[in-house]
Structure 1
Amino acid sequence: MKIITKVSGCLFFGIIVVYFLVVYARRKEATNNGFNRTIFKTIHDSPSITNLQVSSYYIIGLSEKVIYLGNHARSQQVLVLPYNGNKVDTSWLNIPDSTLFGWGAARIHKQGNIFYLAEGVTPNIISFPKLDTEGVLLQPGFNHFDIIIPLDSFFIFRMYDTSLRKNILARAQYGQQGTSNPALLQNQLDGVFSTDGMLLFDSATKRFIYVYYYRNELIAFDKELGNVIHGKTIDTVSVAQITMQTVKSENSIKFSSPPLKVNKYACTYNGLLFIYSGLRADNERGKIAFTSSPIDVYRINNLKYMGSFYIPKYEGRGIRDMAILNNRLVILKGNEIAVFNLHLKLLFNID
């Protein structure tokens, strides 16, 4: 009798849980966000997936034959793996022994065939024409940064301006003091969190793009921080939905609740901007709304929306990094790396 009672209790509890989950899902699905997506169908084939064992890797860049991954846990490490994931090689970026380097802030970048190891605390920028060689120290001047796009003769970066008390974008040639354009980033609630975002470079158009995390704004500009184009993502979140609190014991400001991240990740390729959106569209219902990650596509020359496609979630995991080269989309999800073959030429009419 006791066993029957326990089983009945567990069954009843399970039914209640399922009921509330269904109600929650329906209410969430019924909530409109004020925009629709134009969906491109059959844009990719089934992916090849490789387990990387750890989630500390990030995408440095892609080449015709291989993927280059950096490791947040080992700042000098470069993982080199082919698109089929069959063989993985490890390379290292070596710096001069006398270099004072802020390893905790370091990140590896790739532009063309050149690798750059950069950190904005000390600051340092080191270039590597080849892997497994000692790098060449480039002079960043006294330009401190938290985000950077290093190129052959100059770099574009984001820094915190203490006098303006906000994030600003700047440009500097190696060995020289940078020049900034404080008007590029517009703060709302504050000068840090509301202006946070991603700095990207598109080699096809030679333009830089800034994608805000917490609002629907895009900015494209040239290497002189001019010829600015302003655009918007298709959602309606024009004001960052963030709340903050001051922690006096730590002398810091933190989020008091999780912010609404509108644009989660982004990458560029051949004049196109790809954004992994954090918002569901009004015309997305049922399974697709909760089991897929939407990628919205914009043209960089005018920041106009073109359309969207979906990437399936695996075990509920969304995208945490992404890159595109030719017809391959590379995505990091948890410990795994997935490679999709895209049909970009057919859909977007690019060579």
Structure 2
Amino acid sequence: MLLIMIVIKYIRKYFVQIVSALLAFLFIYAAFSKAIEFEAFQVQLAQSPLLSAYAGFISYAVLIVEVLVAVLLLFPKTNRQGLYGSVGLMTAFTFYIYLILLFSDFIPCSCGGILEKMGWGEHLIFNIFFLLLAVVALYVHAKAKQNNIKREFKYVSWIMLTNIVIVVGLFVASEHIMKVENSFIRRFLQYPIIEEGSLKLDNSFYYFAGADNDHIYLGNRNFPQLLTTVDTGLEQTDKLKILPDNLAHPFKKIEVQVKSPFYYFYDGTVPVIYRGKLGDTKAQTISFGDAYFTQLAVLDSSKFALRTQSSQTKDLVIGSLDLYGKPKVSFFPAILEKQVDGFFDVDGKLIGGENMGNLIYTYSYRNQFIVLDKNLEVLQRLNTIDTTSIAKISTASLSDGQHKLSTPPLRVNSKSAANKNFIFIISDLMGKYESQEAWKNAKVVDIYRMDRQEYVGSFYLYNDSGKSVSDMLVTEKYLYVIIGDKLQRFYFRKPLYDKNNAGEAENLIVKE
């Protein structure tokens, strides 16, 4: 009992010094842990849902401030200022965790060192404890020096309020930058997809032709007359050999596309479009000689969007084909915006999103995609998060009149798929703070809203075979990908669309 009393008396006498030493040790340890794994610390900040956009600046600022406050705490003449700094730092750290737990769409990784072993709840309690210690130490210090207690707590209140405002300001500004004006720092979502099944295909030339509620449909580049139906559980497959009513054409690039209850068999170099009913091998010619095209998107049983080359300007243009329209074919040259040559610089992919009436055109060599309605009116011109706004291509004209790329172009967007108000784009560009090792074994998929300028987040698609993702399909519940001769299905941990909250997009993120 006597020993306990002596210890208590000693603590009371040297309380301020003990607390200052504890806080100094905490800040030095935290700064040292971050410094020795500085790259990992920057990556963790970049994944923070509150500070992503300022990861570079904050990573240095936190280290400098922690060391500075620790030094102030260790010297009697600057001890009071060090305690004020401790209150400011611990308030900022505590409120940051509070915002993470209360408002964040996902919970990022923790800081380094021993603190990394703590859960976010324990970390919050830990920070509150040291914040209270710093406040009590300031009270004891003021009482010992016979300072004005009310004035001291006024200072403390202003310091705490200022740091709370700074953290909230960073949160709001970072969210705006990450979602609207991203400076190419990706935010990787916490396990948004989980692999649920796979199917071994008999060759590696399959691509997605479409989907409905119960099936997905595959075309095959080596066997273009083959339409394969796979149930959504990846358990049953059926193969259908398409038999067009006329095969006497000089086919060069046959493709198949499904929009239930029909499939469409076409080659824009002929140009010809056949239509058949799902389950029926016979396909009838519905368009021949109406328009040459390089890409086709089915709008309904008699209307199509297409990409073709203008016979006058030689530029790529978007057009429409209406089998019952007058005229049948219309062109919309203003949709694709020329930057360099009007051909390579506007190259991209025209797709129709599943369960949606809109069309999307994703540029290959610049950070933009276009959302169109069925009448080919431009609804949105939206940007991806990288900074390549001008296509980086070089072209040359040959003596025979051909126009060729003179150097390999910088590809920005590779594959894309859409559903509801979301578009999933496989990117070919690495962002800041990303691992080169991860890029060797995976592709990055970025998710965006299509009704407004908003970047939702990203995730890796890993593969063990070393082969690239050849195609991608998104339905309301699942993401399907083909890698080599393997068809994989992933389910979303949160649905793309909440039926109980119609009209509002969801973030594909689940709080832990």
Question: 1:227–1:42: structure 2 CA closer, same or farther, 3 Å change rule?
Answer: same
Question: 1:227–1:191: structure 2 CA closer, same or farther, 3 Å change rule?
Answer: closer
- Contact 1:93–1:131 under 8 Å retained in 2: no
Question: 1:108–1:102: structure 2 CA closer, same or farther, 3 Å change rule?
Answer: farther
The separation in 1 between residues aligned to 2:355 and 2:214, in whole angstroms, is: 20
Q: Which amino acid aligns with 1:282?
A: K
Q: Which runs of 5+ in 1 are unaligned?
A: 1-28
The separation in 1 between residues aligned to 2:322 and 2:236, in whole angstroms, is: 39
- Contact 1:244–1:256 under 8 Å retained in 2: yes
Alignment-derived partner of residue 90 in structure 2: none
Q: Which deviates more from structure 2 when the two are superposed, residues 99-108 or residues 313-322?
A: 99-108
Instruction: Give the match's secondary structure for 2:495.
Output: helix
Question: 1:333–1:146: structure 2 CA closer, same or farther, 3 Å change rule?
Answer: same
Alignment-derived partner of residue 67 in structure 1: 216
Q: Of the candidates 165, 186, 191, which is equivalent to residue 314 of structure 2?
A: 165
Q: Which runs of 5+ in 2 are unaligned?
A: 1-42, 44-55, 57-181, 498-504
Q: Which deviates more from structure 2 when the two are superposed, residues 197-206 or residues 113-122?
A: 197-206
Q: After superposition, where does 1:220-235 map in structure 2 within 5 Å?
A: 220-235=371-386
The separation in 1 between residues aligned to 2:323 and 2:496, in whole angstroms, is: 41
Q: Which amino acid aligns with 2:487?
A: I
Q: Of the candidates 37, 49, 52, which is equivalent to residue 186 of structure 2?
A: 37
Q: Of the candidates 184, 192, 203, which is equivalent to residue 54 of structure 1?
A: 203
Question: 1:205–1:82: structure 2 CA closer, same or farther, 3 Å change rule?
Answer: closer
Instruction: Give the match's secondary structure for 1:239.
Output: coil
TM-score, normalisation: structure 1: 0.82
- Contact 2:230–2:236 under 8 Å retained in 1: yes
Q: Which deviates more from structure 2 when the two are superposed, residues 166-175 or residues 133-142?
A: 133-142
The separation in 2 between residues aligned to 1:277 and 1:183, in whole angstroms, is: 26
Q: Of the candidates 469, 473, 494, which is equivalent to residue 344 of structure 1?
A: 494
Cα displacement (A) at 1:89: 2.4
Alignment-derived partner of residue 213 in structure 1: 364
Structure with greater helix percent: 2
Alignment-derived partner of residue 146 in structure 1: 294
Alignment-derived partner of residue 240 in structure 1: 391
- Contact 1:100–1:122 under 8 Å retained in 2: no
Identity of aligned residues (%): 25
Question: 1:177–1:67: structure 2 CA closer, same or farther, 3 Å change rule?
Answer: closer
Q: Which amino acid aligns with 2:186?
A: R
- Contact 2:456–2:507 under 8 Å retained in 1: no
Alignment-derived partner of residue 434 in structure 2: 284
Q: Which deviates more from structure 2 when the two are superposed, residues 268-277 or residues 74-83?
A: 74-83
Q: Give the number of the structure whose alpha-carbon radius of gyration is greater.
A: 2
Q: Of the candidates 301, 304, 311, which is equivalent to residue 454 of structure 2?
A: 304
Instruction: Please list the CA deviations of residues 41-66 of structure 1 after superposition, one character each: whole Å capped at 9, or x if unmatched.
Output: 11122353333242221111223333
Q: CA RMSD in A?
A: 2.6
Q: Of the candidates 230, 233, 245, which is equivalent to residue 96 of structure 1?
A: 245
Instruction: Please list the CA deviations of residues 259-299 of structure 1 after superposition, one character each: whole Å capped at 9, or x if unmatched.
Output: 22110000111221110111111031354343221111111
Instruction: Give the match's secondary structure for 2:440.
Output: helix
Higher relative contact order (CA 8 A, sep 6+): 1
Structure with greater strand percent: 1
- Contact 2:295–2:307 under 8 Å retained in 1: yes
Q: Which amino acid aligns with 1:69?
A: L
Question: 1:203–1:325: structure 2 CA closer, same or farther, 3 Å change rule?
Answer: closer
2:350 is the counterpart of 1:199 = yes
Q: Which amino acid aligns with 2:228?
A: L
Instruction: Give the match's secondary structure for 2:252.
Output: helix
Alignment-derived partner of residue 64 in structure 2: none
**Number of residue equivalences:** 319
- Contact 2:422–2:448 under 8 Å retained in 1: yes
TM-score, normalisation: structure 2: 0.58
Cα displacement (A) at 1:137: 2.1
